[in-house]
């Protein structure tokens, strides 16, 4: 569809070119027709001039005298008088000869007088017959339409009849014009007309082109832009509908699981509550069921969160606002964290999971570990998702490129369903899921590979795929990283089983890494949690129960301000969207007042996880930012950063 958009800018140029061609052709046709008509008119004009001279000459002679002329009259006074009158016309620069004729029979005419000074015809000499002469013999002045030849040359002649007093044709005055003169007249006048037409054509083309450029082009351009906008809007609408349909399905699935499982927990709990609790075996079974259901709720919640994080990540990358945070990290920790997570999923599906890391891989690299992990995790999760039997293997190695850059290479290989050759190119398109009939039971949004590819682009890395349909696939990624320490990752290469347990948590649509679970108790600390939703306050209170922190709660901004005025809190957790006074207003009131907690760290605690939210709240002055749903370990880690050190007693779980 966007090809149309690209073409639409050419469309205006094409329309203008077409209009210009049509204009040119029509102008040329118009000029051609006009020239033909002009040439006819020029010819008539020349003939009229010839006829005017012949008529004038004929008008100057007496018809009775001319008609009465005999061969014996040559040289008589009448003859000479006539001769002198016609001689006036003989000296006209345009004509060649002037003479008088007399009809002696059907198409027969003889000379009665010839005014040629050098080789005049004699009285009685026959003359060439032409159609125009025939007309003049019948009393109608006429001009030759085609040239004729005689012993004096090639001519066009004009014939004018002279009538006697009885109205009979007494003779014909003929003026000869050379054919050369006639053709010259015709062509020179035609050329001057052609030149004028060409000038007019040129000027009109220039004017038309200027008008087209000035008036039509902006109009056509505007049309093109409108078309472009229309296509874009339609396409965006289409993508949005696809997206919503997809998301609705993907989000409903875990919600359905959560609500369903929660219902089971409630039923099971009510059942145990109402029973007389006398059968410990029954109680144990019931508790086991409840724990199983709660685990399912946890899983579904994590899935839901992963989907929302994918969407946020994708929109962040799409809007060009995903920044890389490069810092040193340990490759072995990263491998073990990923390995532990994927191993559980692979084990659940009965798959072998193998990590084959090059023992010589440097252990300390510098780069955006979070994004490297995200890329590898996405590919590994897909490998597990789309494999029912066999194994998933991650091979890791490193090499130095020609320009000296260190390249981390990972190949994720599976023995799964594979991808058809013709589907390979669709693989990285957003929301693109392949073979939906076959994969309808596999959860996914079609965003994972699109995010993976864009993240790799951001890191100057690349990805390639090889796949055998029905046999399995290999996704290979190359990511440039800087080497911090040449120490190798592990002596024998990383394996899954001998790595520490890693916790996985979520933050602003991305994953926040906690490689070691560190905890603390702070029995002397006091925290205020503010939220208008009681469940959220309950969750925070429970999540922090083990830390022994004293937790007060407030269900509105105004209550929070009042409590913070009276009591000193070591940290305040402030929800944002609350009716009446919102979190930001409450925060400013606490800071600007003289209350007991006016200097306490205030952490923004919100479900607003869209691109730029974190930066906005930090700019507002909040000490930190954490998104809902809250992960207990992430919250504990954040509190460790903000509670007074003296009140914290660290414990390692
Ligand atoms: P999804 O959320 O659907 O997994 P992805 O963008 O991660 O979205 O993948 C897009 C599609 O590519 C998947 O729907 C699946 O059809 C196909 N795919 C991805 N990885 C594999 C794999 N390892 N084996 C087979 N098919 C795969």
Tell me if 504 CB under 6 Å of ligand 1.
no
Q: Are 390 and 417 in contact (CB under 8 A)?
A: no
pLDDT tens track for 587-613:
999 999 889 999 999 999 987 777 678
CA–centroid distance, residue 438 to ligand 1 (Å): 12
Rounded Cα gap, residues 598 and 589, in angstroms: 9
* CA of residue 441 to ligand 1 center, whole Å: 13
- Of the two residues 242 and 291, the one the predictor is more confident about is 291
Q: Whose CA is nearest to atom 23 of ligand 1?
A: 383
For the segment 124-180, what is each residue's pLDDT rounded down to a tens digit?
999 999 999 999 999 999 999 999 998 889 999 999 999 999 999 999 999 999 999
Task: Give the Å distance between the CA of 444 and the centre of ligand 1.
Answer: 8
Q: Name beta bridge partners: 553.
A: 529
Between CA 306 and CA 319 the distance in angstroms is: 20
Instruction: Give the distance (Å) from ligand 1 centre to CA of residue 446.
Output: 7
Minimum-distance ligand 1 atom for the alpha carbon of 310: 2
Buried b or exposed e, range 305-337, using 16+ CB within 10 angstroms: bbbbbbbbbbebbeeeebeeeeeebbbbbbbbb
Nearest C-alpha to atom 7 of ligand 1 is from which residue? Answer: 448
Cα 93 to chain centroid, rounded? 75
DSSP secondary structure code for residue 550 in this structure: E
Query: What CA–CA distance (Å, rounded) separates 436 from 534?
Result: 41
Query: Is any ligand 1 atom within 6 A of the Cβ of residue 631?
Result: no
Query: Which protein residue's CA is at the shortest distance from atom 8 of ligand 1?
Result: 446
**pLDDT at position 332 over 80:** yes
Read off the pLDDT of each residue in 580-586 and give the average, rounded to a whole number.
93
Distance 269 CA to ligand 1 centre (A): 39
Could you tell me if 475 and 412 are in contact, meaning their C-beta atoms sit under 8 angstroms apart?
A: yes
Q: Which of 10-19, 232-241, 250-259, 263-272 has the lowest mean pLDDT?
A: 10-19
CA of 408 to the centre of ligand 1 (A): 23
What confidence category does residue 503 fall into, taking pLDDT thresholds of 50, 70 and 90? very low
For residues 353 and 390, the answer to whether their CB atoms sit within 8 Å is: no
| Higher pLDDT among residues 460 and 613, named by residue | 460
The Å distance, Cα 634 to ligand 1 centre, comes to 30
Q: Which helix (H) or strand (E) holds 530?
A: strand 526-530
Distance CA 515, CA 83 (A): 133
pLDDT at 365: 92
Q: Is residue 434 within 6 Å of ligand 1 at its C-beta?
A: yes
Flag whether pLDDT at 59 surpasses 70: yes
Distance CA 567, CA 590 (A): 11
Q: Are 185 and 27 in contact (CB under 8 A)?
A: no
Q: Give the integer Cα–Cα distance in Å for 321 and 306.
A: 20
Q: Residue 604: phi, psi to the nearest 5? A: -75, 125
Cα–Cα dist 558/560, whole Å: 5
pLDDT of residue 4: 44
| C-beta of 386 in contact with ligand 1 (< 6 A) | yes
User: How many other CB atoms are there within 10 angstroms of residue 149's CB atom?
Assistant: 10
pLDDT score of 440: 59
Q: Mean pLDDT across the stretch 444-462?
A: 89
- Angle, in degrees to the nearest 10, between helices 632-642 and 534-543: 70
417 within ligand 1 shell (Cβ under 6 A):
yes
What is the atom index within ligand 1 of the atom nearest the CA of 427?
12
Q: Which atom number of ligand 1 is nearest to the Cα of residue 418?
A: 25
Give the range among 13-17, 308-312, 411-415, 503-507 with minimum mean pLDDT: 503-507
Q: In this predicted structure, what is the pLDDT of residue 505?
A: 35
% of the chain surpassing 90 pLDDT: 41
Give the number of the atom of ligand 1 that is nearest the alpha carbon of residue 447. Answer: 6
| 434 CA: nearest ligand 1 atom | 16
Averaged pLDDT of the chain: 84
pLDDT value of residue 133: 94
> Which of these, 139, 190, 133, 135, lies nearest to 156 by C-alpha position?
133
The per-residue pLDDT for range 620-642, each reduced to its tens digit, is 999 999 987 777 888 998 999 99
- Which atom number of ligand 1 is nearest to the Cα of residue 439? 16
Distance CA 349, CA 390 (A): 10
pLDDT at 7 over 80: no
Over residues 10-39, the mean pLDDT reads 77
Least confident of 302-316, 360-374, 385-399: 302-316
Distance 18 CA to ligand 1 centre (A): 48
Instruction: Give the pLDDT band (50/70/90) at residue 648.
Output: very high
- Tell me, what's the pLDDT at 242? 66
445 Cα: distance to centroid of ligand 1 (angstroms): 9
For residue 515, is pLDDT > 60? no
Q: What's the gap in Å between 2 CA and the centre of ligand 1?
A: 25
Residue 517, both tokens: 């679970």
Per-residue pLDDT, averaged over 97-125, amounts to 91
Handedness of CA 27, 29, 34, 39 (dihedral sign): positive
382 lines ligand 1 (CB under 6 A): yes
Would you tell me how many other CB atoms lie within 10 Å of the CB of residue 22? 10
Distance of CA 552 to the CA centre of its chain: 54
Give residue 419 CA to ligand 1 midpoint distance, Å: 9
State whether the beta carbon of 433 lies less than 6 angstroms from ligand 1: yes
| Ligand 1 contact via 463 beta carbon (within 6 Å) | no
- Pick the range with the lowest mean pLDDT from 222-231, 260-269, 418-427, 431-440: 431-440
Beta bridge partners of 624: 603
Residue 63 in contact with ligand 1 by CB distance below 6 A = no
């Amino acid at each position: 569809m966007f090809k149309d958009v690209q073409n639409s800018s050419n469309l205006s140029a094409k329309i203008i070119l077409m209009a210009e061609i049509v204009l040119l052709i029509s102008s040329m046709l118009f000029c051609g027709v006009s020239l033909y008509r002009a040439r006819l008119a020029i010819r008539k004009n020349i003939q009229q001039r010839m006829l005017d001279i012949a008529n004038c000459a004929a008008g100057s002679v007496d018809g009775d005298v001319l008609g009465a002329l005999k061969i014996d009259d040559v040289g008589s006074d009448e003859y000479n008088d006539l001769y002198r009158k016609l001689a006036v016309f003989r000296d006209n620069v345009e004509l060649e000869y002037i003479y008088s004729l007399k009809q002696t029979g059907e198409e027969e005419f003889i000379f009665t007088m010839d005014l040629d000074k050098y080789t005049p015809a004699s009285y009685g000499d026959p003359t060439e017959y032409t159609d125009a002469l025939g007309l003049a013999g019948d009393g109608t002045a006429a001009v030759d339409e085609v040239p004729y030849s005689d012993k004096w040359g090639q001519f066009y002649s004009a014939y004018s009849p002279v009538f006697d007093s009885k109205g009979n044709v007494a003779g014909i005055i003929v003026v000869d014009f050379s054919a050369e003169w006639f053709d010259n007249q015709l062509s020179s006048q035609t050329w001057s007309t052609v030149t004028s037409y060409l000038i007019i054509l040129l000027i009109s083309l220039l004017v038309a082109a200027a008008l087209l450029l000035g008036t039509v082009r902006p109009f056509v351009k505007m049309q093109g832009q409108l078309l472009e906008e229309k296509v874009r809007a339609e396409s965006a609408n289409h993508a949005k509908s696809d997206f919503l349909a997809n998301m609705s399905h993907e989000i409903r699935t875990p919600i359905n699981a959560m609500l369903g499982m929660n219902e089971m927990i409630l039923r099971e709990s009510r059942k145990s509550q109402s029973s007389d609790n006398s059968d410990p075996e029954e109680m144990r079974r019931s508790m086991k069921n409840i724990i199983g259901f709660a685990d399912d709720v946890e899983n579904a919640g994590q899935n839901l969160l992963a989907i929302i994080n994918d969407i946020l990540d994708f929109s962040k990358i799409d809007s060009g606002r995903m920044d890389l945070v490069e810092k040193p990290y340990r490759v072995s920790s990263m491998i073990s964290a990923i390995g532990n997570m994927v191993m559980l999923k692979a084990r659940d599906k009965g798959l072998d999971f193998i990590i084959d890391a090059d023992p010589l891989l440097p252990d300390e690299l510098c780069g955006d570990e979070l994004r490297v992990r995200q890329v590898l995790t996405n590919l590994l999760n897909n490998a597990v998702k789309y494999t029912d039997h066999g194994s998933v293997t991650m091979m890791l190695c490193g090499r130095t490129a020609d320009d000296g850059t260190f390249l981390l290479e990972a190949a994720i290989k599976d023995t799964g369903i594979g991808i058809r050759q013709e589907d390979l190119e669709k693989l990285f398109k957003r929301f693109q899921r392949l073979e939906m009939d076959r994969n309808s039971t596999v959860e996914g949004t079609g965003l994972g590979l699109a995010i993976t590819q864009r993240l790799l682009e951001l890191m100057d890395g690349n990805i390639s795929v090889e796949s055998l349909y029905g046999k399995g696939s290999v996704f290979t990624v190359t990511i440039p990283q800087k080497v911090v320490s040449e120490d190798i990752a592990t002596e024998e290469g990383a394996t899954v089983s001998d790595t520490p347990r890693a916790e996985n948590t979520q933050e602003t649509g991305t994953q926040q890494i906690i490689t070691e679970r560190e905890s603390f108790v702070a029995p002397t600390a006091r925290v205020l949690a503010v939220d208008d939703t009681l469940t959220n306050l309950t969750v925070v209170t429970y999540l922090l129960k083990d830390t022994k922190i004293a937790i007060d709660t407030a269900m509105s901004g105004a209550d929070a301000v009042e409590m913070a005025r009276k009591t000193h809190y070591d940290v305040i957790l402030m929800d944002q969207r609350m009716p009446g006074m919102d979190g930001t207003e409450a925060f400013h009131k606490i800071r600007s007042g003289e209350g007991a907690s006016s200097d306490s760290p205030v952490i923004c605690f919100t479900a607003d996880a869209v691109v730029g939210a974190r930066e906005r709240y930090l700019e507002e002055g909040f000490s930190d930012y954490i998104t809902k749903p809250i992960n207990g370990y992430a919250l504990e880690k954040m509190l460790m950063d903000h509670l007074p050190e003296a009140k914290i007693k660290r414990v390692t779980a």
